[in-house]
Chain A
Amino acid sequence: GAGVSQSPSNKVTEKGKDVELRCDPISGHTALYWYRQSLGQGLEFLIYFQGNSAPDKSGLPSDRFSAERTGGSVSTLTIQRTQQEDSAVYLCASSLLVGYEQYFGPGTRLTVT
């Protein structure tokens, strides 16, 4: 079946602009995660959603970052007033339930100029 998809694959934006990154999880997966990966570095957890529960936002680096998940499926990560340090690859993953193995999307490479 279809895997996790993310769009756009690449995004170049000017400092100060807002951006929206989209994630389509695997159908039937109740858990959805967002991570950030700087060049060649580890994964930084941002936020996760589990079913209809309140999301765990503990990893969001500032209040410029927000995310929502509509209808228990598609998720959007929004970064307001982008800064150069926001440049990274943003990865989305989904799993059947929290605690199960995650399936990752190809990522969105964000470049803030």
Chain B
Amino acid sequence: AQSVAQPEDQVNVAEGNPLTVKCTYSVSGNPYLFWYVQYPNRGLQFLLKYITGDNLVKGSYGFEAEFNKSQTSFHLKKPSALVSDSALYFCAVGNMRFGAGTRLTVKP
């Protein structure tokens, strides 16, 4: 069975600071891992994915994620947060099992 967990309901960061949104997964075999973002009053958008290859994956809007097999994690990161990054972020495994979401708030 596949499952994914986002341990933080809410993450608050100041603009310009680095941000991390955490995700851990459980899957047998090689995982397909995804991050999606849902901006206020807008649909879900794909950010990035890990299928195989380099553990550091780069995606849209300056986001990246690091796949760590030993820790079964796929944390989303950005070196310098923008107020416009404030949104709901979802991690997904196998493309159909989504985490509960983490609300990111970036304050000026």
Contact = CB atoms under 8 A, between A and B. Distances in A.
Interface stretch (B16-24, B39-47, B72-80): B39-47
The 4 closest A-B pairs by CB, nearest first: A42-B100, A104-B44, A43-B98, A101-B46
A42 B98 contact: yes
Contacts of A101: 34, 46, 49, 95
Question: Interface residue tally of chain A, by bracket?
Answer: 20 to 34
Is the contact region of chain A dominated by helix, strand, or loop, or is it mixed? Answer: loop
B32 A99 contact: yes
Given A101-B46, A103-B46, A45 B96 contact: yes
A40 B94 CA distance: 22
Contacts of A25: none
A33 interface: yes
Interface of A: 33, 35, 40-43, 45, 48, 59, 91, 93, 95, 98-107
Nearest to B95: A99
A101 B95 CA distance: 7
Interface string B92-108: 00111111110000000
Contacts of A48: 96
Contact of A45 (B44, B98, B100): B98
